[in-house]
Structure 1
Amino acid sequence: MRALNLKKVCWLIVGCVAVATSGCTSDDANDVTKPPELVFRDESVTIRVPADTKFAEIWDLTLAEWSGATGAETNIVTDESLQGPSQSADVLVVPLTEIPRWIEQDQLAPLPTSIRDGSALKWLDVFYGVREHTSQIAGAPRIVPVSVPILVAYYRADLLAAKNLEPPKTWTEYQKLLATLDEWAPGLTAVEPWSPEWRATTFLARAASSAKHPDQLSYEFDIRTGEPLIDSPGFQTALELVQQAHPYLDDDVVTYSPEDCRRELLAGRAAIGIALESGPNETPLPFGPKGSTSETAIERAEGIELTIEPLPGSARVYDQSKSAFQEFPEDRPHRVTLTGFAGSGVAVSKTAANSQAAWDLALQLSSKDVSQTFPPPLCSPVRESQADMPAIYAGSLLRPEEQGAWMNAVRTSLSSDQCITELPLIERDRYRKVLSLELIAMFEGDATPQEVLQRVAGEWQSITESLGQEVVRKSYRRGLGFPAP
């Protein structure tokens, strides 16, 4: 635990200023400068942060300013410090993957209406999909988002232009580009993050547009029953396309993270890829699946030009209520954005000793210049006001126009009303592990997509039964933003 008691220092500064100005004349000889009213005098606010982070150092100045202005003390504790029953916290920096655990413990307070409507937070500045989906938990917004990374698609713009080709709008068109790589990008490969840590995320991001109908809430599970939907026809269609793509992917993709895919694209060895940006320092993404284990430096080849787009969509989407596919126009396919596999937000505990002080500090940390309190990659674009500053959040190896294209892809994806959180339920890692282990059969065996997903569904159902199907149903509903009756 680290305590920051800065009131004495702040009053010393105030006193020095008073002495320095004591020679100034006053119309009232008895006029005495009064210190400002300290609204949270003698309060103490505890901040919980994930382990192995340096927030105590990063926030030195911010916390000093807030303490000096309010009179409150601040303490920072790490995640391990909160495991004991006597420990508590007021303000929480919560990885998005941990939200189900905190919700199960009924720890996260909803954002007060006065704060959502106030000028300090500027809630409507947050991208619509993040505001209305990712931040919505158990019937109310409970997270002030700081980082919501997403996977996007990278293409060699120079090679596409040379053959009068356009980036694909659907996964079917994407597959056609893969199948014709030798014609428009001879000698180059395609890369996607299929390492054990990323395999589940890559598949769920690929499958979302064909398995998540725009008029339905359920995705991986049925929110009415808690039963898994992972073997539904929409998921099978997506896995069939993965199977068709496999022969055209780099042989090493089963070990690749998004960082590895991005390296291959910038090196000029890949013409198509799925990856993400984590900041100008090329730092691995925090609070998510494990990144690259490669020690190879990322370098950019000369002469290459990239364009970055949202992940493709689908022209055929499975409708669970009708047990049939619905067709969408090829030029306006259905797209779904997968979030929640990494990233973080700031929340306030329901048990905060002084909720007003806790929310005041939470806003100080998350709604001002967030790139100062959460330097990239701890933050990513989540607001409209960040959209004109792509260089702050994108890798420095991208050219300015490429950084702008990436920002536009992120903005478009996160502004959609079709954002879905990856497996937002208790014991999510157990479900992810099963999916990852079974998906490798697509690369190493002869199993069909139907067989693979039926096995996944069976193992997911076993996990669900061990936890209690009603418990899982309620947890999944809460994770998707709805109350759990």
Structure 2
Amino acid sequence: MAPLFFVAMGLIVATGCRDSAAPAPVATKASAPAAAIQLTVLVAGDEELAEGLRLLRGEWKARSGGELSVEAITLDDLQKAEPLAGDLVIFPSRWLGALAEHSQLRPLRESLLESPELGLSDIFPAIRNGEMKYGGQTLALPLGSPPLLVFSRLDSPDQMAGSQWTPPLAGRAAAYTLLARAISYTESPQRADALFSAENMTPRIGAPPFVRALSEIKEETSAPDDATPVDFASGIQAVRSGNAVATLGWPGLLREATQPVDHPADEAAAFSPLPVAEQVYSQSQADWENQTFPQPVTLLGVEGRLVGACQSSRNAVSAFKLCQWLASGDIAVQLSSRSWGTLWFRASQARVYARWAGGQAAPDSSTPVTKVVAEALAVETPVMVPRVPAIDEYMDALAEAVRTAEPGEEAVNAALSEVAAKWEAITERLGRDGQARAYRRHLGIDVLEAE
């Protein structure tokens, strides 16, 4: 029996040794590195910004490991694209409502808005609490939005009147020139919805503030019939070269000079806020009244650029990171300052304001342009060009009337009545209920439902 016992024990020990031995390594395939994410940014109506963004592709790749594709598109392309074939889109700020109403943008996440890297509180209040929001949601980050300002000779006693006052009347600028003056004649509580009724989108363009404003513009600009209207950039050039006393514009246009300026007037011109009217039209009294506490006007949406994440993007996390990167720090300065349609939009950027102003410094005898801009953008509730679908079509109809109306109150009333009829036709074509809802969301009355 003993031999059998030892044989059995040997088998048990041998078996136990095999079971307790370390298992043989299993051959596995090496895990592939995560694929680099390629993001596509659509830049609508601003080739300068598109080119500036292309120059940042290498820096973004070094930071994130991902590729960046930049596609410049026209505003017509932006209007027709459904859905947007990109991850981010840069667009004129007045187009925010049109994109939101077609569900083209993702609302920005609270974690992004609260991140120290973004520095939301550094963004001027008029942009932070006004232009970035639509229907109660924050849908985009700013790349700069210039308030409309007066650019004038410092020795001019009356900046906005007389034969040498040069209002920009070329293209859509004519509509904004009228809007800036008419809003100053409107009571502060009614300024935000001065153009339309918030209830049903009925035009208010024939109201007394607009009649007075257009009548004054026609009286002050009795130019020959063959005179070519100037745009904002040309008006700035006229003041700098001594051919005009005052015009409207913003500092970013100083870099748009078509020829070198070498004139004493260039050193004696500066930016200032839009003038405050002595009188406003009281709706309750149906009459003109002197302002007891005059309120300045901040008008946004003439230009300005926003960047938002496309609803169609499959790379939302990366898209939000890129969005924040473009609107923050030195990158925001590098990118935003390339466009004439932007301006510094953070308090911290004022120290490098010359990047936007073409290296121009404000004359010593004037209020610093940084202070003028800061005060204009310090308001919580700016007047914004209505951010509704087809806003450019509405403004084009108004601009044409501003240019072609004959002087005199009767002719002005007739011209504005024709504008109202054209606006009604646009609203009916697009759908009155939808346009009125978009207008209320623009005003912050109605909420944009989350997708």
TM norm structure 2: 0.80
Output aligned runs, 1:161-240, within 5 Å. Answer: 165=157, 174-175=160-161, 178=162, 189-211=164-186, 213-214=188-189, 217-240=192-215
Q: Which residue of 1 aligns with 2:368?
A: 405
CA contact (8 A) 1:207 1:235 kept: yes
Output aligned runs, 1:132-171, within 5 Å. Answer: 132-157=129-154, 159-160=155-156, 165=157
Relative to structure 1, is the Cα distance of residues 471 and 411 closer, same or farther in structure 2, using a 3 angstrom cutoff? same
**AA matched with 2:252:** S
Q: Which residue of 1 aligns with 2:262?
A: 300
Relative to structure 1, is the Cα distance of residues 275 and 136 closer, same or farther in structure 2, using a 3 angstrom cutoff? same
Separation of aligned partners in 2, 1:446 and 1:318: 16
Give me the CA root mean square deviation.
3.2
CA contact (8 A) 1:191 1:250 kept: no
Separation of aligned partners in 1, 2:411 and 2:144: 37
Tell me which stretches of 4 or more aligned residues in structure 1 moved more than 6 Å: 249-253
Aligned residues: 410
Quote how far apart the aligned CAs of 1:100 are: 3.2
Q: Which residue of 2 aligns with 1:373?
A: 335
Quote how far apart the aligned CAs of 1:361 are: 0.9
Unaligned runs of 5+ in 2: 1-32
Separation of aligned partners in 1, 2:344 and 2:284: 35
* Structure 2 residue corresponding to 1:127, chosen from 124, 127, 140: 124
**AA matched with 1:277:** P
CA contact (8 A) 2:43 2:90 kept: yes
Among all aligned residue pairs of Structure 1 and Structure 2, give the percentage whose two residues are the same amino acid: 24
Q: Do residues 113 (structure 1) and 74 (structure 2) align?
A: no
Deviations 1:430-471 (A, max 9, x none): 212221222223357885332222221122112212222112
CA contact (8 A) 1:266 1:298 kept: no
Separation of aligned partners in 2, 1:217 and 1:73: 42
* Structure 1 residue corresponding to 2:239, chosen from 265, 268, 271: 265
Quote how far apart the aligned CAs of 1:119 are: 0.8
2:405 alignment partner, SS class: helix
2:307 alignment partner, SS class: strand
Relative to structure 1, is the Cα distance of residues 300 and 60 closer, same or farther in structure 2, using a 3 angstrom cutoff? same
Quote how far apart the aligned CAs of 1:473 are: 0.5
**AA matched with 2:240:** L
CA contact (8 A) 2:91 2:305 kept: yes
Separation of aligned partners in 1, 2:313 and 2:406: 49
**AA matched with 2:321:** D
Separation of aligned partners in 2, 1:108 and 1:71: 25
CA contact (8 A) 1:108 1:350 kept: yes
Q: Which residue of 2 aligns with 1:415?
A: 378
Quote how far apart the aligned CAs of 1:236 are: 1.9
1:46 alignment partner, SS class: strand
**AA matched with 1:227:** T
Q: Which residue of 1 aligns with 2:10?
A: none
Unaligned runs of 5+ in 1: 1-37, 169-173, 182-188, 284-295
211-220 or 420-429: which moved more? Answer: 211-220
Relative to structure 1, is the Cα distance of residues 252 and 336 closer, same or farther in structure 2, using a 3 angstrom cutoff? farther
Q: Do residues 333 (structure 1) and 308 (structure 2) align?
A: no
Separation of aligned partners in 1, 2:88 and 2:366: 33
Separation of aligned partners in 2, 1:433 and 1:98: 15
* Structure 2 residue corresponding to 1:442, chosen from 385, 398, 405: 405
Separation of aligned partners in 2, 1:54 and 1:394: 15
CA contact (8 A) 1:335 1:418 kept: no
**AA matched with 1:206:** R
CA contact (8 A) 1:426 1:472 kept: yes
Separation of aligned partners in 1, 2:343 and 2:174: 22
CA contact (8 A) 1:339 1:422 kept: yes
